Amino acid sequence: MKIKQFCMTLLCAALIFTAVPLSASADSAGDLTVTGGILATDYSYDEGQERLTILTDTPMTISGTTEKDVVWVAAGVTANITIDNLSISIPRSKQEAAFEIMENASLNLTVLGANTLRGGEYRAGLSVRNTALLVITDASTGALDAYGGFGAAGIGGNFERQINNTPYTGGTIIINAGAINAAAGIDDGTWRVYFGAGIGSGVCGKTDNAAHITINGGIVKAVCKDDYGNGTGAAIGGGYNCRGSFFWINGGTVEATGDHVGIGGGVCNPGGKLLIKGGTVKVNEMGASVFYDDDYEKTAYPTLIEFDSLNDIKKIDFLAASLDGADYSYGIKDVFTDALGNLYLYLPLNTVVSGAKISGQLYAGAVTTTDDAQTSSGKLYPGTVITASAATGGSISPVGETYVIYGDNQTYTVTPDSGYCVASVEVDGSNVGALSSYTFPSVDSEHTINAVFGLNPINSSAGSTIYLNGRTTLTPPVGNGHWNFNEEIVSLETHSDGTATVTALQEGTTEITYTFNDFSVGFSLTILKSKLPSTGQDNTLVWVLIAIAVLCAAGAVIIGRYTLNAKNKKA
C-alpha cells in the first residue's frame, strides 16, 4: 500500500512539473546575456570576432555591459529583440558598430531599461544598412542613447566610404516609442568630429539620399553639434555631403539640434521633404521643406504654443485645432511640452489652436498659424469647456465644444431654419426661454446649452381654427377585421383662456370634439377619436393618434392631414 502511494506521489509530481512552464533560459555570449532562443539555432556567438549574431525571428532579450562584444542581425533575417539595460561601448580602435542590422534584414527592437550603444571609428552606434529596416516598437518604455564614431550616425549609416567605398545611407528607420537620444561623431576629450547625422546617414556622396525616417511617437532627441560649430551633418537626415530624403513625423516629442541644420541634408547638399501630421518638433534650423499633405504640395508652418503659468514638462492629453471651420486632426501621441511649457507645432496656414488639456486642466484661447514664424505664436490660458447642440429645425453657433478662458463671457446665437421658430433654449438642462441668443457671463465651470425648435404657427391666435396639412399612414389595431377610411380633416381651435379644442371630421359620421386644458408652449397633444365603421360592426373602436409638435409661442403648430390606408376586409 505504501509503495503504491509513493508511486502515485511521484506520478503527480511529474505531472505537475511538466504542466508548469519553465522560464526562458539565460545564456552567456561573451560579456552579454541572451534570454530566449537556442544557441546555434536562433543565435550564434563567435569568440574570435566577439560577435553575437541573431539568426531567426525568435523573441530574445539581450542585456549586459561590454566594450568588446557587438551584435549583428544576419542578412535577410527578421529579428524580434528586446534590449534591457544593455551597454555596448566600442573603442575608437575597433571599426565595429555596437549593434548592426545587415542587408535586407529587419529588426523589431523593444527598448526597456537604460541602454547605451556607442560605435567604433567610422561606425554607427546602431547601424542600419542600406536595405535594412529598424522599427523601435510601441512596447518600448526605456531609454536608448546611441553615439556614432567618426563620420557615422548615432542611429543609421556608417562612414562606409572609409571601409569599401560603398554609399551608406542608413536604410529605413521607424520610431514608435521610447526615449531615444542619438548623437553623431565622437568626443573623447582630444578631438571632436561630427560628420554623420544624429539619426540618418553617415558621410556619403552628393548623389546619395539620407535614410528614410518616420517618427510616430516617443521622446526623440538628435544632435549633430558641439561648442565649436563642428557639426556638418543634420541632427536628423543626411550626414556630410548626403542630401536630404523623405522624413515623416506623426507624433512624439522631437528635438533636433545641429550646427548645420536640425532636419534635412548635410553640408554641401541640404534639402529634403518633411511631412508633419503630429508631434511637437523643436528644431534650431529647418533644412527640409515642410508639408502637411501626402502629395507634398501644401506647406506647414511652425507655430509656437505657450501655456500660461506652466513652466514644466507636461504631457498633452488633448489638442483642439480647426482649419476653415472644420476640426483639424493633429497627432499627439507622446507629445510633451518643453521645460518652459511650450509646444512646437507645424500646421497649415490659418489653423486655429483653441484648446488643450494637460494633466486634467483645460487651456483655452486662439492661436492662429501664419506664414511668419515671428507672429505664428500665442498663449493658451486655464479655462473650461461649453458644449452646444441644436435639435432639428435650426442651428446654434458656435456648435460643439468651445474652450473658454476662465472669467471670459461666451455668447451663443440661435437661428431657426425657414418654417421653424425657436421653441426654447436649455442651459445646463433648464429652459431659459425662446431666445435668439444667450451669453454665459464670467465663465468659471463647464456648461451645456441646447436649442429646441418648432414649426412656425399658422393662424394660431386665440379663437382661430387651424387646418393640419401634412400626410402620414396609420394602421388600425388588430381586431375582427380591417377597414378602409377615406381622407379625414382634423382641425384645432385655440381659445383666449389657454384651452384648445380639437375637432375630428369623418365622412358619414357625426363630429366628435375633445377639449384639452392647459395648452401651453412645448405641450405634446394626443387626440383620441372613436369611429363607428360603415361595415356595420358598430361595436369596434378605432384609435386615431395625433401628436401636436412643439409650439413656438402661445399658439398651436401644424401637424398634418392623415390618410388611413387599411383595406376593408374581414380577418
C-alpha cell at 52: 553575437
pTM of the entire predicted model: 0.77
Q: Which residue has the higher pLDDT, 110 or 494?
A: 110
- Residue 162 corresponds to which amino acid? Q
pLDDT digits (tens, 9 = 90+) for 184-198: 875 555 445 567 888
Does 571 score more than 80 pLDDT? no
CATH number of 385-455: 2.60.40
- 16, containing H or E segment: helix 2-19
C-alpha cell at 280: 511637437
pLDDT of 164 = 57
What is residue 313's three-state secondary structure?
A: coil
Per-residue burial over 325-358, b = 16 or more CB atoms within 10 Å of its CB, e = otherwise:
eeebebbbbbbbbbeebbbbbbbbeebbbbbbbb
Confidence band (pLDDT; 50, 70, 90) for 238?
confident
Confidence band (pLDDT; 50, 70, 90) for 517?
very low
C-alpha cell at 457: 404657427
Confidence band (pLDDT; 50, 70, 90) for 541?
very low
Name which of 202-216, 233-247, 312-326, 547-561 the model is least confident about. 547-561
pLDDT of 24 = 60
Rounded to an integer, the average pLDDT of 521-546 is: 36
pLDDT of 165 = 56
pLDDT digits (tens, 9 = 90+) for 99-118: 999 999 999 999 999 999 99
Q: Rounded to 5, what percent of the chain is helix, strand, coil? A: 5, 45, 50
pLDDT of 240 = 73
How many angstroms separate the Cα of 325 from the Cα of each of 124, 299, 322, 399, 560? 47, 19, 6, 11, 38
pLDDT digits (tens, 9 = 90+) for 399-458: 999 999 999 999 999 999 887 788 889 999 999 988 999 999 999 999 999 998 876 644
Rounded to an integer, the average pLDDT of 232-254 is: 85
What is the separation of C-alpha 483 from the centre of its chain, rounded to a whole number of angstroms? 59
Look at phi and psi of residue 332 and say left if phi exceeds 0, alpha if psi is from -120 to 50, else beta. alpha
Where do the domains of the chain lie?
Answer: 2-298, 385-455, 457-571
Q: Which residue has the higher pLDDT, 66 or 497?
A: 66
Q: Which residue has the higher pLDDT, 496 or 289?
A: 289
What is the average pLDDT score of the chain? 77
Q: Are 201 and 246 in contact (CB under 8 A)?
A: no
Burial of 261 (0-12, 13-18, 19+ CB in 10 A): buried
What is the separation of C-alpha 121 from the centre of its chain, rounded to a whole number of angstroms? 41
C-alpha cell at 313: 514638462
pLDDT of 16 = 41
